[in-house]
Amino acid sequence: MNDAVLKPSELPYDVDAYRADFPILSETVHGKPLVYLDNGASAQKPKAVIDAMRGAFEHCYANVHRGAYDFSERTTAAYEGARETVRAFLNAKSEREIVFAKNTTEAINLVAHSFGRGLLKAGDAVVISEMEHHSNIVPWQMLRDEKGIELRFAPISDEGELLMDKFAELLDEKVKLVAITHVSNVLGTITPAEKIVDMAHAVGAKVLFDGSQSVMHMPIDVQALDCDFYVFTGHKIYGPTGIGVLYGKEAVLDAMPPFLGGGDMISSVTLQKSTWAELPAKFEAGTPPIVEAIGLGAAIDYISGIGLERIAAHERDLLSYAMQRLAAVDNLRVIGTAPNKTAVISFAMGEAHPHDIATIIDQQGVAVRAGHHCAEPLMHRMGVVGTARASMGLYNTRAEIDRLGEALDKVNAIFG
């Protein structure tokens, strides 16, 4: 077959061509080519996203939903078009099930407020795990302290896997929600989402997945998964900051009271009372992140054009190569060795503090994360104060992994 008739997703994976789509990857740091390995915190942006956002600002910017003039109608169409892009990306049944928030944290807090405060009562239980990001811990602690719900914690193994037998022991008729990460931001562990849903639904509990670390690494089908909520954030999926997504089953969202009050989330307002707009507007009070949503839609179109399965295969190769390469670095210990994981490697090195590791290798142009990664309970569980974390994306290469290994040798040269 002639290459000219192949879809982009059918062509060989050309990482150099994809790298060329990201202007920032041509930058230098301390006189050395940038090696960006902090994608788990925030991924870089392709030109398609930058152009889509710039185009919205330069050519048709206006507020949405309320203007009876050309710019407003065009911007509204682009904003709602981004919602349809997200719907198709997750395979949700309806755009009514796609709520825009400013990030994952806000989306989880929306559920904690509207589902938790609105529908749960004292004595009901919520189950989370030991490997959660703070954004999937703190809102439930606040709900526990305010409403008297019970908060239960599913333990993990030393390798970083969810202990499913222990998880099963936590489930009973008191559990109304299981809120759990789909992929750990520290360990890269992929949790057994289908089993979690089946087990939780068997006791009548709803299920929320934090998909912040999963949607850029693997296809997500919320109907096949049958979860009740799924949340993710735009800036980790090669889109802008300031935009996130809450997917919720329509019947569940319909039963929940609004999160915020104000414009656009109402059907009518009098001085005596207000009535609410239909989904998803009920949960989108005020002027929304218009251009950010357009940027998110462009980011999803970009990675969909490459193909998530192809991205996943590339990242699996990088992970395998990186595990082998880092095994040759003296004094390095990987934290989180679950066999089913994404291209995230957290590690410690002897007496070197994670911040020292990151600072030293930054001088070699290599960017990694250092600290507790907003997962302090997980750090305590794994017996470390923090880790350095290399998180890979669609544009990273084996050569960059070699650069990481060479930079870490500099750490050993200093700390021994």
**Hey, which residues are catalytic here?**
374
The string over 215-243, giving b where at least 16 C-beta atoms fall within 10 Å of a residue's C-beta and e elsewhere, is bbbbbbebeebebbbbbbbbbbbbbbbbb
Token output for 365: 């142009």
- What is the rounded CA–CA span in Å between residue 411 and residue 359? 10
Strand partners, 179: 208
Among 295, 252, 300, CA closest to 110: 252
Token output for 393: 């994306």
User: Would you say 343 and 193 are in contact if contact means Cβ atoms under 8 Å apart?
Assistant: no
User: Would you say 135 and 104 are in contact if contact means Cβ atoms under 8 Å apart?
Assistant: yes
Phi and psi angles of residue 127, each rounded to the nearest 5 degrees, phi first: -110, 125
- What is the rounded CA–CA span in Å between residue 362 and residue 365? 5
Helix (H, G, I), strand (E, B) or coil at 48: helix
Among 414, 404, 413, 409, CA closest to 37: 404
Token output for 201: 């639904």
